[in-house]
Amino acid sequence: MCRTEVCIPIAMRPVLTNARDTGGLQAGSSDFGLGSGFNMTPEAIIIGAGIGMNAANASANIQFHGSKNGSVELVFESSAPIVCTPGFKDGKSTVSCKTVSV
């Protein structure tokens, strides 16, 4: 029984290899797969995720790198062609990426 606002099933809770600075998550079903991890250093945090959509034989990977100085980099990879559109919302910079037909 969960006693917090967000209840994460045991199978999806992060598995920490070093409670100070790294961790990861794996979950899946017959339709979807997820693998992710993070690493924190005194200067940066790196977060990555790989997502599979099994029935479509499609996948996407996301890599985020944030530095102590405030700079960020986001890399998105997809097994299908994508188009990304930059924008602004509520005074913040945004980007939306979607698959496109070829």
Residue-wise pLDDT tens digits, 80-96: 999 999 999 999 999 99
**Quick check: is 4 in a domain?**
no
pLDDT at position 23: 81
> What is the structure's pLDDT at 20?
52
The answer to whether 35 and 24 are in contact (CB under 8 A) is yes
| Domain-embedded: residue 43 | yes
Q: Which residues of the chain have pLDDT under 50?
A: 1-13, 15-19
Residue 76, in any domain of the structure = yes
- For residue 88, being part of any structural domain is answered with yes
Nearest of 37, 75, 33, 35 to residue 57 by alpha carbon = 33
The number of folded domains in the chain is 1
Identify residue 6 by its one-letter amino acid code: V
Is residue 44 included in any domain, yes or no? yes
Task: Domain of residue 37: give its range.
Answer: 10-99
Integer Cα distance of 55 and 49 in angstroms: 19
Asked if residue 95 belongs to a domain, the reply is yes
Q: What is the CA radius of gyration of the chain?
A: 16
Dump strand ranges (E) for 1-102.
Answer: 15-18, 22-28, 32-40, 44-53, 58-67, 72-78, 82-89, 92-99
Please report whether residue 93 resides in a domain. yes
First to last CA, the chain: 47
Q: Among residues 75, 79, 87, 32, which one has the least CA distance to residue 54?
A: 32
